[in-house]
Amino acid sequence: MPFENCFPGPQKIHLETFGCTANIGDTLKLQAVLRNAGHTIVEGVQDAEVVILNTCTVTRRTELNVLKRLRTLQAMGKAVVVAGCMAAAQRDLLTDVLGGEVLLVTPTEIQKSWHETRDSDLDGVISVIPIALGCLGTCAYCIVKQARGELRSYRPAWIIEAVSSAVARGAKEIRITAQDCSAYGFDAADGVRLPQLLERLTALEGDFHIRVGMMNPATVLPILDQLLDAFESEKIFKFFHVPVQSGSDEVLRAMRRNYRVADFVTIVTSLRDRFSDCTISTDFIVGYPTETEAQFLSSVRLLEAVHPEKVNITKFSPRPGTEAETLKDLLERDKKRRSRILTAHDHDLSCERTTAVEGTTVPVLITEQGKKGGVIGRDPAYRMVVVHEELPLGSSCEVTITSATSTYLIGRSSYQDCSSEGFRACATNV
Ligand code: SF4
């Protein structure tokens, strides 16, 4: 029986999400599926009869945060449903913590229910559209593989229909997501890979921009030239999230990442040669069990050599059931020290970079309400721009950058809605 029918009659349901864009997308789908099944989605946990926790377990820290929230909800006497990666990869742990019967909803079950309706809520003017579940990777440290499994690409027609429906309902930013977007179509016989899919999506009528999610260097390389051509479309943010994980080939081999540092550098150089104004986002894992001090310094050198615009740094933590769990872990203090060093280097580089755009004027698509008032928008390179003015979500305008932090820009708008044609026109003048 589909999970949405597992409740004794219509319920008031509150949802909370941990983790990545794919999980946020799953929550938006869960809301639509539950509503279609006759339940009511409530904003506040206090008004809920049932709370669904859409979980992530990519690191030990996240696992502990999820378990803490579960115990709090239990203490509040709430009926709890656990969805997401932990529900698939750590069932025993959850039944131990929650004691006895607990409704677990895996990512695959969410997709199954979604495929019935292919209806998904919008987050304001943002829509999150999954293009595949699982991946081709065999990364030695990754628990996500256990939760989301082998690559299953969704049919191009489904994705096109989902994007059209979201745009028709007012979406201006489409976040396409997967564990590895550049692996899209490798499991299909129709020859439609990510570049071809992007060409079909950008051919759609409408006023929207696409942000492409995470891409593993190993699956980017075989499609790099076509990908560069597809990203030429003004409807695609020049944002490339390509996790490198380490600057040492020995560590990448131990991680089973299936590419070399030189491959990553080739990808970044090609992206920058084609798009002078773009955002390269990457991830580093520091303190992998086999990582020596010298190999760690290779990551520092790679960071300095490549200057990614956005860097996520994670300390290695052994995940249950992974190959890396069997390796002797490094001392926590060494992992902390390496994380501090790499973070400091990244901070210096990003301050240098963001201050360089102060005083310039960029076209910005307004996509979110600011947490402390004002709005948040994205420029064509998907940089975050905060504007302390009340501007309509989905509008586009020129913004003069007045200051910058290491992670976002702040600006003043010359607001007269230049609409997306204007945004695209402005975008091409950058
Ligand atoms: S590509 Fe590797 S890190 Fe990414 S989800 Fe797959 S196994 Fe995990």
In a domain, 115, yes or no: no
Q: What is the atom index within ligand 1 of the atom nearest the CA of 257? A: 2
Residue whose CB lies within 8 A of the most ligand 1 atoms, among 20, 143, 214, 216, for a mutation test: 216
Residue whose CB lies within 8 A of the most ligand 1 atoms, among 143, 180, 255, for a mutation test: 180
Residues lining ligand 1, CB < 6 A?
Answer: 135, 137, 139, 142, 144-145, 179-180, 216
pLDDT confidence bin for 8, thresholds 50/70/90: confident
* Cα 356 to averaged position of ligand 1 atoms, centre (Å): 35
pLDDT confidence bin for 429, thresholds 50/70/90: very low
Q: Are residues 286 and 340 in the same domain?
A: yes
Please report, for the domain that includes residue 403, its CATH number: 2.40.50.140
Q: Are residues 395 and 326 in the same domain?
A: no
In a domain, 196, yes or no: yes
Tell me: the pLDDT tens digits for 111-125?
Answer: 888 776 666 778 889
Q: Which amino acid is at 382?
A: Y
Please report, for the domain that includes residue 346, its CATH number: 3.80.30.20
Q: Are residues 332 and 374 in the same domain?
A: no
In a domain, 116, yes or no: no
Tell me: the pLDDT tens digits for 228-278?
Answer: 999 999 999 999 999 999 999 999 999 999 999 999 999 999 999 999 999
Query: Rg of the chain over CA atoms, in angstroms?
Result: 22
Tell me: the pLDDT tens digits for 370-407?
Answer: 988 999 999 999 999 999 999 999 999 999 999 998 88
Tell which of 355, 377, 398 closes a domain.
355
Ligand 1: which residue has its CA nearest to atom 6?
Answer: 137
DSSP annotation string for 345-393: HHHHHHHHHHHTTTT-EEEEEEEEE-BTBSEEEE-TT--EEEE-S---T
Do residues 117 and 32 make contact, with C-beta atoms less than 8 angstroms apart?
yes
Q: What six digits make up the tokens of 299? A: 């990551």
Q: Find tokens 């001392």 and name the residue.
A: 331
* Cα 256 to averaged position of ligand 1 atoms, centre (Å): 10
pLDDT confidence bin for 99, thresholds 50/70/90: confident
Q: What six digits make up the tokens of 378? A: 């994205």
What are the residues facing 80 on neighbouring strands? Answer: 51
User: Whose CA is closest to 130, among 149, 150, 116, 110?
Assistant: 110
Gap between the Cα atoms of 158 and 427, Å rounded: 29
* Cα 105 to averaged position of ligand 1 atoms, centre (Å): 21
DSSP state of 121: -
In a domain, 289, yes or no: yes
Tell me: the pLDDT tens digits for 153-189?
Answer: 999 999 999 999 999 999 999 999 999 999 999 999 8
Gap between the Cα atoms of 357 and 137, Å rounded: 37
Q: Is residue 425 predicted with pLDDT exceeding 80?
A: no
* Cα 198 to averaged position of ligand 1 atoms, centre (Å): 22
Domain count within the chain: 3
In a domain, 117, yes or no: no
Please state the rounded mean pLDDT for residues 3-27. Answer: 89
Residue whose CB lies within 8 A of the most ligand 1 atoms, among 142, 146, 252, 283, for a mutation test: 142
In a domain, 114, yes or no: no
pTM, to two decimals: 0.92
Q: Are residues 82 and 132 in the same domain?
A: no
CA 428 from centre of chain: 26
Tell which of 88, 109, 130 closes a domain.
109
Q: What is the atom index within ligand 1 of the atom nearest the CA of 148? A: 5
Tell me: the pLDDT tens digits for 330-347?
Answer: 999 999 999 999 999 998
Q: Are residues 229 and 92 in the same domain?
A: no
User: Alpha helices, DSSP H only, in 99-223?
Assistant: 107-117, 144-148, 156-168, 194-202, 217-220
Tell me: the pLDDT tens digits for 221-233?
Answer: 999 999 999 999 9
Q: Are residues 214 and 242 in the same domain?
A: yes
Q: Are residues 413 and 302 in the same domain?
A: no
* Cα 171 to averaged position of ligand 1 atoms, centre (Å): 29
Ligand 1: which residue has its CA nearest to atom 4?
Answer: 179
In a domain, 385, yes or no: yes
Cα atoms in the Cβ-side hemisphere of radius 13 Å centred on 136: 17
DSSP state of 30: H
Gap between the Cα atoms of 29 and 130, Å rounded: 10
Gap between the Cα atoms of 28 and 23, Å rounded: 9
What is the per-residue pLDDT for 119? 64
Gap between the Cα atoms of 387 and 401, Å rounded: 9
* Cα 293 to averaged position of ligand 1 atoms, centre (Å): 25
Q: What is the atom index within ligand 1 of the atom nearest the CA of 183? A: 1
Q: Is residue 418 predicted with pLDDT exceeding 60?
A: no
Can you give the residue range of the structural domain that contains 367? 361-426
User: Whose CA is closest to 279, among 230, 242, 234, 313?
Assistant: 242
Tell which of 298, 324, 355 closes a domain.
355
DSSP state of 414: -
Q: What is the atom index within ligand 1 of the atom nearest the CA of 138? A: 7
Do residues 367 and 323 make contact, with C-beta atoms less than 8 angstroms apart?
no
Q: Are residues 349 and 372 in the same domain?
A: no
Gap between the Cα atoms of 360 and 391, Å rounded: 20
